[in-house]
Amino acid sequence: MSHHQNIAVAQSWLDAFNTRNLEKLVNLYSPDCQHVSPKLKLAQPQTNGIVSGHSALRAWWKSSFDKYATLEYAAKSFTADDNGVWIEYLRRAPGEPDTMVAEYLEVDSRSKLISKS
């Protein structure tokens, strides 16, 4: 995918997350995706921080949205290549200090996310 297409996928990901559009967020991922998160590892140690597929991803995001009703990711920068995009954002969660985060979204030839770490 082009750099511009990958940035558009990342912007859609942030928008879906920040608007709590669970189905849009899940559908940005390939059905056989893998999602890696240190927050997931803390919340559900048995997963080792990894979920795979739409059902597991949907359950993880729903639990996050339920726990943090006002959690927000404020985009700071995007750096793309042909295989994906780095997003730098400020994570704002109630009762927690704001945290700068950098994540890589790997994008397949259909503009679907295949992994996030």
Domain range for 19 is 3-116
In this prediction the pTM is 0.89
> For residue 42, what is the domain's CATH number?
3.10.450.50
Continuous H helices in 19-111:
22-27, 38-43, 53-67
Place of tokens 């597991």: 56
Taking the C-alpha atoms of residue 83 and residue 81, their distance in angstroms, rounded to an integer, is 6
58: CB partners within 8 A, 6+ apart: 22, 26
Domain count, the chain: 1
pLDDT 10s per residue in the chain (117 long)? 788 999 999 999 999 999 999 999 999 999 989 988 888 889 889 989 899 999 999 999 899 899 888 999 999 999 999 999 999 999 999 899 999 999 999 998 888 777 765
